[in-house]
Amino acid sequence: MPDLKDWVMVSHLRRDCRMRLTSLSRTMKMPISTLYDRLRDFESSGVLRHSALLDFAKLGFQTRAVVLFSCARARQDALGKHLTCHPNVNSLFRVNNGYCYLAECVFRSIRELEAFTDKADGDFDGKHQTYFVVDDVRREGFLSDPELVQLAMGG
Output the pTM of the full model. 0.79
Instruction: Give yes or no for a contact between 61 and 113, defined as CB atoms under 8 angstroms apart.
Output: no
Give, in degrees to the nearest 5, the angle at Cα 85 between 103 and 105: 30
Query: How far is residue 102's CA from residue 77's CA, in Å, rounded to a whole number?
Result: 14
**What are 41-50's pLDDT values in tens digits?**
888 888 877 7
Complete domains list, the chain, with CATH: 4-51 (1.10.10.10), 56-132 (3.30.70.920)
Q: Is the pLDDT of residue 1 over 90?
A: no
Question: Mind listing the pLDDT tens digit for each residue in 27-67?
Answer: 999 999 999 999 898 888 888 777 778 899 999 999 999 99
β-sheet bridge partners, residue 91: 104
Answer whether residue 87 shows pLDDT above 90: yes
Overall average pLDDT of the 9-17 stretch = 87
φ, ψ for residue 89, nearest 5 deg: -90, 110
Nearest Cα neighbor of 68 from 128, 115, 151, 12 is: 128
Residue 4 has pLDDT above 90, yes or no: no
